[in-house]
Structure 1
Amino acid sequence: MDNIMTFINEVGFPIVVSLYLLYRIETKLEAVIQSIQSLPDRLKSNE
């Protein structure tokens, strides 16, 4: 039982940090996607 608790403690923290970083990257990626999608309209309006 102690081995399982040690494994969870060692592996659990990196998983939580990874999920948090993935969430932050996802929100920034959404902003990049929206910017790229609006780019053709902006280029047409500048012509």
Structure 2
Amino acid sequence: METILQAVGNVGFPIAVAAYLLVRIEGKLEALTASIARLAEAVAGERRQEE
């Protein structure tokens, strides 16, 4: 918590909020990327079955 308060004091509130949001959303982006890859594999499998 102390580190966060120091960051706000040093770089300003908007930059601290942006950094916090980037860290939080990273895991969600990785999960979304994995889901898109699985979807692409499923679509490719369906195309192979149709042929």
Shared fold (TM-score, shorter chain, > 0.5): yes
Unaligned runs of 5+ residues in structure 2 are 1-8
Shift >4 Å, 4+ stretches = none
Q: Does 1:19 align with 2:26?
A: yes
How many pairs were matched up? 43
Q: Deviations over 1:1-47 (max 9, x none)?
A: x2405433x22110112222111100010000000011122234xxx
**Equivalent residue number for residue 30 of structure 1:** 37
Task: Kindly report the root-mean-square deviation, in angstroms, between the aligned alpha carbons of the 2 structures.
Answer: 2.1
Query: Percent identity at matched positions?
Result: 7
Unaligned runs of 5+ residues in structure 1 are none
* TM-score relative to the length of structure 2: 0.61
* Larger relative contact order, structure 1 or 2 (CA cutoff 8 Å, min sep 6): 2
